[in-house]
Amino acid sequence: MKLLRYGPAGHEKPGCVHSDGSIRDLSEVVADISSATLSTELLERLASTDLDALPKVDNPGRIGPCVGDPRKVLCIGLNYSDHAAETGATPPTQPIFFHKALTAICGPNDDVELPRGSKALDWEVELAIVIGKRAKYVSEADAMDYVAGYSVFNDVSERDYQIKLEGTWTKGKSHDTFGPLGPWLVTKDEVADVHNLSMWCDVNGEKRQRGSTSTLIFNVPQIIAYVSRFMTLEPGDIIPTGTPPGVAMGMKPEPVYLKVGDTMTLGIDGLGEQKQTVVAA
């Protein structure tokens, strides 16, 4: 099932994509697709719902982030072997993770802000794991039981803030709009092999990123098991899992970073597409 949220920011309604391509309103079934409602029981109830009986949404307007009010956005850094190679970094021996501010989360097609004074705004198409139930000290063998589904995530990054200002990566990752999420939360039963998905990102119509989740250094079960050693994961938590090669930071001879008016178009096979325009903060 492809779950989504539509409507003005802060007033989104829950919906899903019918097999005929239409959007159906889920308000009769659940108040929202959010950290407060997401659970194994909800997903089972939605799977048995007669979508034909639900109202069709002819003009959904804005598509919001596919999960409302997540409690955590925990990103995995430097997690593609080919991306590590393009940046000249040594692949990590254990997962690197960092927090992205919750206020960074926005809809998949919302504008992305260029921070004041920014000169190094970058793109990163990523597979995001959406947690479906509470996870603590989870084994790799059981880790997939805690996954609700997957989504597309753009881990927008200000590289100067991330690298040159010292401290944690979070300051270069957390500006408002630095986390477009969606369009859909695709439940895991619809994803045949999460470790073999093509992913891409174009800037102003020009090819930038091309990759596959097959080159993940740490796969989905490994990530969930590892992170749950250090903190409890809750329903609705978002875990972006890293980006493939083709980011601005890795361009030779010189990076070409984003500027006001640029557009990013990105997607992952089976999980949908996003498009954002860069605007001044």
In the chain, list all ranges with CATH 3.90.850.10.
74-280
Which pLDDT value is given to residue 177? 98
Which pLDDT value is given to residue 239? 98
Q: Which CATH superfamily is domain 74-280 in?
A: Fumarylacetoacetase-like, C-terminal domain (3.90.850.10)
Query: pLDDT (tens digit, 9 = 90+) per residue, 159-200?
Result: 999 999 988 899 999 999 999 999 999 999 999 999 999 999
Rounded Cα–Cα distance for residues 154 and 152 (Å): 7
Average pLDDT, the chain: 96
Tally of CB atoms within 10 A around 22: 15
Query: Which of the four pLDDT bands, split at 50, 70 and 90, describes residue 85?
Result: confident
Which pLDDT value is given to residue 171? 94
Which pLDDT value is given to residue 275? 98
Q: Which of 33, 158, 59 is nearest to 104 (CA)?
A: 158
Which pLDDT value is given to residue 87? 77
Total-model pTM: 0.97
Give the strand pairing for 105-106 and 179-180.
Answer: parallel
